[in-house]
Amino acid sequence: MNNCDQCRVRQSTSLRALTTQETVVIENCKTSHIIKKGEAVFSEGENINGIFCIKQGICKLTKLSANGSEQIVKLIASGELLGQRSMISEEPVNLSAVALEDMAVCYIPKKQVMAFFNRNNQFSMAVMKTICSDLKAADDHLVTMAQKPVKQRLAETLLYLLDNFGTDADNSLQAKLTREELAGLIGTATESCIRLLSQLNKSKVIILSGKKIIINDREVLYRLATL
């Protein structure tokens, strides 16, 4: 059995506010799962009745629009939690979480987490601060989508992928997004995204190699992102 006390997810999330005894309870009730690339951790409208700890891998949070198209809302990396807001509000999840690569996750049932929430004030405050932070990030993203040009949004997103998810051994971005997924993340048509990527590739700001993207000139990309 994995030691939850030393787990990266516990140390970097609201779970760090749990006592040693509460952490032992988690170790005894959690279940571990491997989510293959392309599979859903959960789907929009589902009652998940617990939280997911992302131990390894990357997933995308998406929402379906009225016309059935997929909008990427956020990317989630290892060391984060999913499902806290749904658990507190007692509502189905309003987003889908889909693996962008093979993932290792742990699932903690709602019953145990809510018991901690109701009696451990530090934990409940940590959960609420996380939810508030997520809402602030959503507000900031909404402003970005409404006010910034597409090229600036693309530059910001490429830097975000670099800074938050790192690179592989060949220096390509570790978060491998299709052109459609990248377009959805910046809120533009796939054709526009492809055209802008080609422009950045031609000017050698980035290097395109199939689906791989290498950031070749971070300084220029940063200038484009902060126009």
DSSP 79-145: T-EE-HHHHHHT---SSEEEESS-EEEEEEEHHHHHHHHHH-HHHHHHHHHHHHHHHHHHHHHHHHH
State residue 2's pLDDT score: 58
Distance of alpha carbon 70 from alpha carbon 64, whole angstroms: 5
- Report, as ranges of residue numbers, the positions in the chain whose pLDDT lies below 70: 1-2, 145-146
Sign of CA dihedral 170, 176, 178, 184: negative
Q: Which residues of 11-48 are buried (b: 16+ CB within 10 A; e: fewer)?
A: eebbbebbeeebbebbeeebeeeebeeeeebbeeeeeb
3-state secondary structure of 217: coil
Beta bridge partners of 172: 214
Q: Give pLDDT, residue 162.
A: 93
Handedness of CA 186, 192, 193, 195 (dihedral sign): negative
The pLDDT assigned to 221 comes to 94
Query: In the chain, what are the domains?
Result: 8-145 (2.60.120.10), 148-226 (1.10.10.10)
Report the C-alpha gap between 103 and 37 in whole angstroms.
7
> What pLDDT score does 1 carry?
45
The two structure tokens encoding residue 212: 């791989």
